[in-house]
């Protein structure tokens, strides 16, 4: 086989959608669970090949560059590890009767459809196609959030659908406005929606039209990112959907909307007459951080707790990219990767804890390190990492965000540190009881693999201690591209 002629982009996009069609037709849990893992692994391998093989030439629909390849590799890796976690998690749901075999077939098919939508959004060179792909990913997660068919799950899915639809409508209007700004310069038709052509000619676009477009795009995709006050769908979706979907929502789907925002931010910075997008991003990011940090103290549901933690960290990431510059962009990129790995690892642990205890209520979960040491200490490591303690990777990324902000805007840095300390206090308070309190509730043995959780935590630890030079150079180049 001529590997040089192989186009891994096709694998990244086509494997999930073909797997989805096959999974929709196949009966039986064991077979479909294994096929789901196999398809996710094959997609991840294709993503890794994008790092090795020559990249395809940008076309009217497909683009692979230094920016989106970070998202693609991260997306497919977490998609693979989550599929492994999902196999044991969903088996338990089947045994307890929470899911039926028919719903399991639907679940696995939707999982791969969701991966297809996210991967397509990342590789799209057409801003209209990217919008469609984000919508596909959103609709599939809406269906998966409501898969338990309880009143609370259906309400959460409906809220997610309504708010997500409003957001995606704003994003569509913003996309149309970008097309209208590009049309007089590039011409009618598809060319005025191709990203590589847009960024080349962006300096000639009508700045006023771009300004209005970015506001709608930021509100639209910002809803998907989970920024306050556009976040209302996110806690309910996490609390009522299957835990593997919580891991995917926090670790992956939020990044898809973030990627779209970064693309349009680059378009704005390429036009000298357009407004600086950083001000809006910094404001919303800081608001989300501080709001979510205080809300952490009021949570009584363990999955809602970490949903608000996701809002907090997406606020940090958007804040960093809003500050801009080589160091802040580098920190934002690193924090995005570390958050995806850490938060998905935490949800892996939370999923097993909830199944063991039979509840999501924090007051009824105690002493997990005593009853289930491996699971409990893995959970502790995840919370320590997400709280930003050294030597784990999130400490490094937060340190870079804070230091770069102090050098340019000391007052903003003080607000940033304040939000981080408030969130740290809330997480420490919750961790103490769940991990180290007097054991409470069922203590049945956990029949699960902890490999995905510890694999993520190991990567976060390594990143906090040492980042290989090629990754540093790669991230520095992407930080430069982001402006």
- In this prediction the pTM is 0.94
Which residues, 6 or more positions from 383, have their beta carbon under 8 angstroms from its beta carbon?
Answer: 346, 427, 430, 431, 435
CA–CA separation, 124 vs 110, rounded Å?
21
| Annotated domain spans of the chain | 276-483
CA–CA separation, 149 vs 162, rounded Å?
18
- The reported pLDDT for the residue numbered 443 is 64
Q: Spell out the per-residue pLDDT of the chain, length 483, in tens.
A: 344 456 888 999 999 999 999 998 887 777 888 999 999 999 999 999 998 888 888 888 999 988 999 999 999 999 999 999 998 888 777 777 777 777 777 888 999 999 999 999 999 999 999 999 999 999 999 988 888 888 888 999 999 999 988 998 999 999 999 999 999 999 888 889 999 999 999 999 999 999 999 999 999 999 989 898 888 888 898 888 888 888 888 888 889 999 999 999 999 999 999 898 999 999 999 999 999 999 999 888 899 999 999 999 999 999 999 998 899 999 999 999 999 999 999 999 999 898 888 888 888 888 888 888 889 999 999 999 999 998 899 999 999 999 999 999 999 999 999 999 999 999 988 888 888 877 776 666 555 678 999 999 999 999 999 988 999 999 999 999 887
CA–CA separation, 211 vs 205, rounded Å?
11
CA–CA separation, 382 vs 456, rounded Å?
9
């Amino acid at each position: 086989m001529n590997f040089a002629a192989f186009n891994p982009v096709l694998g990244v996009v086509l494997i999930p959608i073909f797997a989805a069609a096959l999974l929709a037709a196949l009966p039986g849990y064991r077979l479909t669970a294994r096929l789901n893992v196999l398809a996710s692994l094959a997609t991840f391998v294709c993503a890794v090949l994008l790092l090795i093989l020559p990249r395809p030439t940008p076309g009217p629909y497909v683009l692979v560059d230094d920016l989106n390849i970070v998202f693609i590799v991260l997306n497919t890796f977490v998609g693979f590890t989550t599929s492994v976690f999902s196999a044991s998690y969903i088996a338990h749901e089947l045994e307890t009767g929470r899911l039926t075999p028919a719903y399991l077939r639907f679940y696995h098919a939707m999982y791969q459809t969701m991966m297809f939508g996210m991967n397509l959004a990342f590789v799209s060179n057409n801003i209209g196609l990217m919008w469609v792909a984000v919508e596909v990913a959103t609709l599939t997660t809406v269906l998966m959030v409501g898969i338990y068919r309880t009143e609370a799950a259906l309400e959460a899915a409906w809220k997610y659908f309504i708010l997500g639809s409003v957001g995606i409508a704003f994003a569509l209007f913003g996309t149309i406005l970008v097309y209208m700004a590009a049309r007089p310069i590039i011409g009618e038709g598809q060319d005025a929606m191709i990203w590589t052509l847009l960024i080349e000619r962006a300096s000639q676009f009508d700045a006023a039209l771009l300004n209005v477009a970015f506001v709608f795009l930021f509100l639209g995709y910002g809803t998907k990112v989970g920024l306050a006050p556009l976040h209302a769908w996110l806690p309910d979706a996490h609390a009522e959907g299957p835990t593997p979907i919580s891991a995917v929502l926090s670790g992956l789907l939020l990044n898809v909307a973030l990627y779209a925002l970064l693309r349009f931010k680059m378009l704005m910075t390429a036009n000298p007459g357009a407004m600086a997008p950083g001000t809006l991003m910094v404001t919303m990011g800081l608001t989300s951080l501080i709001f979510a940090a205080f809300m952490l103290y009021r949570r009584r549901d363990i999955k809602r707790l970490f949903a608000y933690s996701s809002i907090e960290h997406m606020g940090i990431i958007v804040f960093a990219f809003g500050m801009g510059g080589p160091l802040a962009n580098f920190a934002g990129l690193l924090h995005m990767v570390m958050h995806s790995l850490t938060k998905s690892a935490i949800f892996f642990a939370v999923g097993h804890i909830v199944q063991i205890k039979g509840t999501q209520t924090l007051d009824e979960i105690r002493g997990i390190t005593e009853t289930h040491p491996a699971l409990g200490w893995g959970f502790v490591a995840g919370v320590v990492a997400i709280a930003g303690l050294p030597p784990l990777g999130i400490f490094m990324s937060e340190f870079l965000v804070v230091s770069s902000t102090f050098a340019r805007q000391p007052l903003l840095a003080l607000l940033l540190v304040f939000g981080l300390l408030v969130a740290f206090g809330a997480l420490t308070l919750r961790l103490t009881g769940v991990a180290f309190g007097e054991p409470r509730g069922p203590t049945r043995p956990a029949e699960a693999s902890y490999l995905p959780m510890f694999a993520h935590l190991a990567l976060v630890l390594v990143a906090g201690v040492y980042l290989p030079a090629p990754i540093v150079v790669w991230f520095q180049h992407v930080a430069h591209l982001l402006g």
